[in-house]
Structure 1
Amino acid sequence: MSTIRERNKELILRAASEEFADKGFAATKTSDIAAKAGLPKPNVYYYFKSKDNLYREVLESIIAPIMQASTPFNADGDPKEVLSAYIRSKIRISRDLPHASKVFASEIMHGAPHLSPSQVEQLNEQARHNIECIQRWIERKQIAPVDAHHLMFSIWAATQTYADFDWQIAAVTGKAKLADSDYEAAAQTIIRLVLKGCEPEAA
């Protein structure tokens, strides 16, 4: 029974991610989510109680990977290794969870109305920690004296692009859908740009 329950919840969450990403919260109907999941509409309410709860579940499904992506960040770590691992994790999120990533980006752009204060603080604290690590590397002259905040913002923008604009990127590259090799090329390119831009200045 639990296997069926988990399978149905996963189907609904995946369908909800796609619908919310395509239409936004207000325009999305639970009947459309149920139809896309291939389940009766009452199942949506049985498992998630309301559209609001389902939307929050979609957000929570992406917050955990976002938090985990910052695991390598520590002031004593090697900047090249930490930044490379972080960029790869962020690209992997855009590849594996593109719809939930779009929902999260839209939520943030609208002022995070559905995130709890604790979730907002958790995300902000993570960002502050990462930026403090970058600042430590700058002070130790391990990387160039870039603006730590804007370096982080630039990495967010570069990696999030592969979720938000995946259709356009595929169209420009002449592909029906981006392949794993495309995401690998994206990761390598962003890593190269960031690391070259952060090379310590010659004494």
Structure 2
Amino acid sequence: MSEPKPRTRIQEKNRARVLEAALEVFSKHGFRGATLDEIAQEAGLSKPNLLYYFASKDEIHVTLLEGLVDTWLDPLRELNEDGDPQQELRAYVRRKLQMSRDFPRESRLFAQEIVQGAPRMKDGLATDLKALVDEKAVVLRRWTAAGKLADIDPHHLIFSIWSLTQHYADFDVQVRAVLGEGRDPIAEAEVFLDTLFTRLLAP
């Protein structure tokens, strides 16, 4: 069987345009509410041209999610077993907050998929995500056993970090409505969460 031909620069550029447009549309309307016509319009392409690069709305969505899961795992991968436990975990919190600042659409896309039961990424959650979280949970237990970290369930600690950081992307409108104009939710959250986890994690 012959290898597929490599994509040209224009093909790669147009695929990227479609994915960027789809991210905007999906993050606003969800998978069910989005249409190929809307994605094509956002990308500045005709619908037939869009379908040259992706066969369906589902294929576009899956492509986005596959890239997103890998990106989402990167901050946890950086947790270094040889580092200071409290510093490593507080740095992880800061990295997750930065992702909420820099990738709010991606966060909302991920949240929408999870709320719907993860029909397009359930396998990835049960394999790549679970394996990484379990691996880091072992590290956290070692730190606790060594007296370097409070005795806290490692899985629920990681869940709490996800909840307390991704909230600022997924509920941005609510957060800004409550805080009012002229305040930086992410900057304030970084100070608050650093204080919170410093106290929580102390052995």
Q: How would you bin the TM-score normalised by the shorter chain? A: 0.7 to 0.9
Partner of 1:19: 25
Segment drifting more, 17-26 vs 114-123: 114-123
| Coordinate RMSD, CA, aligned | 2.2
The answer to whether the 8 Å contact 1:90/1:160 transfers is yes
Runs of 4+ in structure 1 off by over 3 angstroms are 1-7
Segment drifting more, 56-65 vs 6-15: 6-15
Residues 1:193 and 2:199 are matched in the alignment: no
Residues 1:28 and 2:28 are matched in the alignment: no
Q: Secondary structure at the match of 1:144?
A: coil
- Structure 1: 5+ residue stretches without partners: none
The answer to whether the 8 Å contact 2:65/2:110 transfers is yes
Match of 2:161 among 152, 155, 166: 155
Cα distance in 2 between the residues matched to 1:136 and 1:92? 27
Paired residues in the alignment total 197
Q: CA deviation at 1:20?
A: 1.5
Residues 1:126 and 2:132 are matched in the alignment: yes
Cα distance in 1 between the residues matched to 2:53 and 2:28? 22
Output the TM-score relative to the length of structure 1: 0.86
Cα distance in 1 between the residues matched to 2:23 and 2:41? 13
Match of 1:117 among 109, 112, 123: 123
Among all aligned residue pairs of Structure 1 and Structure 2, give the percentage whose two residues are the same amino acid: 38
The answer to whether the 8 Å contact 2:77/2:132 transfers is no
- Structure 2: 5+ residue stretches without partners: 1-6
Cα distance in 1 between the residues matched to 2:124 and 2:69? 12
The answer to whether the 8 Å contact 1:13/1:54 transfers is yes
Partner of 2:4: none
The answer to whether the 8 Å contact 2:101/2:186 transfers is yes
Pair 1:60–1:199, CA change in 2 (3 A): same
